[in-house]
Structure 1
Amino acid sequence: MSLKLTDTIVDKLPLPSTGNKITYDDDVKGFGIRVTAGGARSFILNYRTRSGLERRYTIGSRPDWKTGPAREEAKSLKKQIDVGADPMGEVSAAREAKTVADLCDRFEKEHLTKKRDSTARDYKALIKNHVLPALRNKKVADVEFTDIDGLHRKISKTAPYLANRTVAVLSKMFGLAIKWRWRTDNPAKGIERNDEQKRHRYLSPAELLKLTEALTRLEDQQAANIFRLLLLTGARRGEVQAAKWEQIDLASGVWTKPGATTKQKTMHRVPLSAPARVLLTALREKAKDDAVYVFPGRGSDHRVEIKNEWRDACVAAGIVESEIVKDKVAVKPSARIHDLRHTYASVLASAGLSLPIIGALLGHSQPATTARYAHLMDDPLRQATERAAAIVTAKGNGAEVVPLHADSKP
């Protein structure tokens, strides 16, 4: 059925008993009004694409659209279709377009599975707490620079370093989106990052003594042993927590870390000190015969969370600083768990060991990474040279004093 559609005609068309019925306009081919049994009335356009597909596009519903404007819209769409456009195909593609939630899901399944457990865990937390709440339903192709910049600014108000990490993760995600052909550019590129100061925190001898005493009183002795082994080996937290008995040769005193667990992705073989061997031997004697992990967690996995125990140890040792939480003064650790690694390296450097030796023990792949401890190596050397200078320049020691001024004469 077709006739010259008007608002009056459209509004008086009878309702079908079931389903819907379309009445076509005799002025614009394919343009019509669809009436459903429930009383809904919508203007539609039937057309055929250049490839021969038959499509039905919904222009809009009554009374939001009047018949005249709907007919003109149909004419405009037909002009686009004549030159190859496919309005309904574009709508379908938009509906099926990947969202940021889809991107996060694929990123976690295909990319984070290649990362260390600790890295994957941190990235997932960042995505869950910051990326998804802000961008979850946004189409990947529609995300703009301003969206990423706005999120960075928002997080920066309370956590500037975390804001930088968020942008870094998003940049990687959108880089992969380009590779997967979900979009053609990276909206995270060019975001101005917050300034970051490299942190080099080492526990002083006094702090080390207090921490050691606090660990003996810590209720959770498994966590205490993790902290002890971190101090005795300088290993990364994830390496210690994921350590397996098969990696440790107590007889020869060697810990062989597989590449899958190290940051540099290469096997790292390090000697264990006598105290470390004593600690591990005691743990081995208490462990089950079929134990896999040195520090087992719940189920078949290794121990993961130790942040609360670290806080308790630091508070007991007085290694704390003040912070404002909800307008109240609270204390938090002034040292991170990772600072135990820095402390181990600083002890080595202060003992006068060479940077290559320190780097080998820490598993550094780049000499520049170890070079941060170079200034600590100067301390014992400076003390030695000052002692020598004091002897040489001392008076009344029965030796001939040699003047050290520039204008002195022999």
Structure 2
Amino acid sequence: MSIRKTPGGRFRAQLKNGRQFVGSRTFDTKKEASAWLKREKAALDGGIDPRAGKERVSLVVERWLKVRESTVAPTTYRGDRNMVRLLPTSMKNVHLSAISEREVARSFETLLAKGLADGSVVRYRASLSAFFAWCVREKLIASNPVTGVKVPKGSDEVAEMDPFSEYELEAAYLTWKMKDERLADILLVMGWTGLRWGEVRAMQVANFVEVPTPGLMVRRSQPEGFAVKSTKGRSVRRVPLADRVLSIVRSFAEGKAPGDLLFTTRGGGQLWRTHTVRELQWKKTGRGRRLHDLRHTAACLWLSRGVEPGTVQAWCGHESIATTNRYLHFLGTDADKAGLNKLNDGLGSAGGARDARDGA
């Protein structure tokens, strides 16, 4: 191992394993170069450099953020920066190796006690876990203290989905058509395909296929204000196009090149949420729903039509069947329906209060 000063005033660290050259990196200070060499040598030896864990968490977090800025999506990076803001001072100022599951759990409890929403604490946990996983990979610590700690369930009510029924969707569609037929068509497609708003904005003509069956290949997403990126979960999925919306999608694709955007405004421009909700008077016509509830509408529509939950999971791109099962609980299970039929069968035949009234 060696460190030499470059003509530019920086320090280049060279790592060797015996006589074999392994790699090199250039740093602004000799201290950083020395620390990197020690960590890499420890990794070569298959162990952890005990001195690496003596660094304060706040300093290691800043190095991690520099890596994350160029390796994750902007929204993920913003969540990581927010994690640093929420990190308790007591955790920032201790040695990396001193962080245990107890400190992690206490940070969750503190944030919840301050009134932070459950979902925000879950996102905080995800970034914190990613940070410590990176530390393990860099051989700074031996294990991730977040892995075994879950976010306690808060007592606040969870915001429920509010999908349209098929009848409500068609009624809303007729109202939207009177305001802007093109935008109305796009929202109807969303209600039948479960596309997210960012996925609709990024969908290209080439993603529309009709062989072997009509469908849309969901490969990209473009949230407003950001560049095109991969879909949530970084997976590609195929969603079907039922006859109800197939002709609509064909009309959007007509006359366009494969690389053109599929769903556009009347002027051929990219879709914007503000323009859409204003033109369709969404606050009134959506009856308190979000545009994202059109995705929930599609999942409920598929399940109510008898599509298998596993297939719905694939069409929605859910990583877990538990997410899909939320829609089953919303719609009611076969047991719920059978039980209701029993309650409604032969009203009053069970005797009790009604028989007493009849005999009075």
Give the alignment's TM-score, normalised by structure 1: 0.50
Q: Which residue of 349, 352, 358 maps to 2:303?
A: 349
Q: Tell me how far 1:104 sits from its aligned partner.
A: 1.5
Shift of 1:270: 3.6
Alignment deviations for residues 210-245 of structure 1 (CA, whole Å, 9 cap, x no partner): 6435644667965x5553322121234444333221
| Mapped partners of 2:104, 2:323: distance in 1 | 35
Q: Partners in 2 of 1:203 and 1:357 — Cα distance?
A: 19
- Runs of at least 5 residues in structure 2 that lack an aligned partner in the other structure: 3-29, 36-54, 221-228, 352-360
- The answer to whether 1:241 aligns with 2:208 is no
Look up the match of 2:250: 281
Query: 1:379 and 1:212 mapped to 2: Cα distance?
Result: 30
- Going from structure 1 to structure 2, the CA distance change for 1:362 and 1:343 (only over 3 Å counts) comes to same
Counterpart contact for 2:302–2:312, Cα < 8 Å? yes
Q: Distance in 1 between matches of 2:178 and 2:251?
A: 18
User: Counterpart of 1:229?
Assistant: 189
Other-structure match for 2:110: 153
Q: Distance in 1 between matches of 2:115 and 2:275?
A: 25
Q: Deviation per CA, 1:169-205: give whole Å up to 9, x if none.
A: 1211221122123455546466662426766523244
CA contact (8 A) 1:214 1:316 kept: no
Tell me the matched-pair count.
277
User: Which one of 131, 134, 159 corresponds to residue 83 of structure 2?
Assistant: 131
1:269 alignment partner, SS class: strand
Aligned to 2:44: none
Structure with the bigger RCO (C-alpha within 8 Å, sep 6+) is 2
1:179 aligns with 2:137: yes
Matched with 1:165 is 123
Q: TM-score, normalised by structure 2?
A: 0.56
SS of 1:104 mapped into structure 2: helix
Match of 1:338 in 2: 292
Query: Against the structure 1 CA distance between its residues 254 and 209, is the aligned structure 2 distance closer, same or farther, given a 3 Å change threshold?
Result: closer
Contact 1:231 1:344 (8 Å CA) reproduced: yes
Give CA-to-partner distance per residue, 1:293-345, whole Å, 9 cap, x none. Answer: 32479xxx976x6378558754122523xxxxxxxxxxxxxx44433222222
Q: Where do 4+ consecutive residues of structure 1 move more than 6 Å?
A: 217-220
1:162 Cα deviation after fit: 0.9
Residues 308 and 136 of structure 1: is their aligned pair in 2 closer, same or farther, counting only changes over 3 Å? Answer: farther
2:264 aligned with 1:306: no
Provide the C-alpha distance between the structure 2 equivalents of 1:282 and 1:193, rounded to a whole number of angstroms.
47
CA-based RMSD: 5.0
Structure 1: how far apart are the matches of 2:243 and 2:124? 42
- Name the amino acid aligned to 2:273: I
Q: Give the greater-gyration-radius structure (CA).
A: 1
CA change 1:215–1:181 in 2 (3 A) is farther
Give unpaired runs (5+ residues) of structure 1.
1-50, 52-87, 113-119, 321-334, 395-402, 406-410
> 2: CA distance between counterparts of 1:185 and 1:384?
50
Residue 362 in structure 1 maps to residue 316 in structure 2: yes
Give, in whole Å, the separation in 2 of the partners of 1:383 and 1:185. 50
Question: Structure 2: how far apart are the matches of 1:211 and 1:140?
Answer: 57
Partner in structure 2 of residue 102 of structure 1: 63
Mapped partners of 1:127, 1:272: distance in 2: 37
User: Superposition pairs for residues 183-262 of structure 1, below 5 Å?
Assistant: 183-184=141-142, 186=144, 188=146, 193-195=151-153, 200-205=160-165, 208=169, 211-213=172-174, 215-216=176-177, 226-250=186-210, 253-258=214-219, 261=230
Q: Contact conserved, 2:205 with 2:256, CA < 8 A, in 1?
A: no
**Rounded Cα–Cα distance in structure 1 between residues aligned with 2:108 and 2:322:** 33
User: Matches of 1:220 and 1:169 in 2, distance apart?
Assistant: 42
1:152 touches 1:167 (CA, 8 Å); kept in 2?
Answer: no
Q: Check 1:307–1:177 CA distance in 2 against 1; reply closer, same or farther (3 A cut).
A: farther
Q: Would the aligned equivalents of 2:204 and 2:261 in 1 still touch at CA under 8 Å?
A: yes
2:217 partner SS = strand
The 1:98–1:302 alpha-carbon spacing in structure 2 relative to 1, beyond 3 Å, is farther
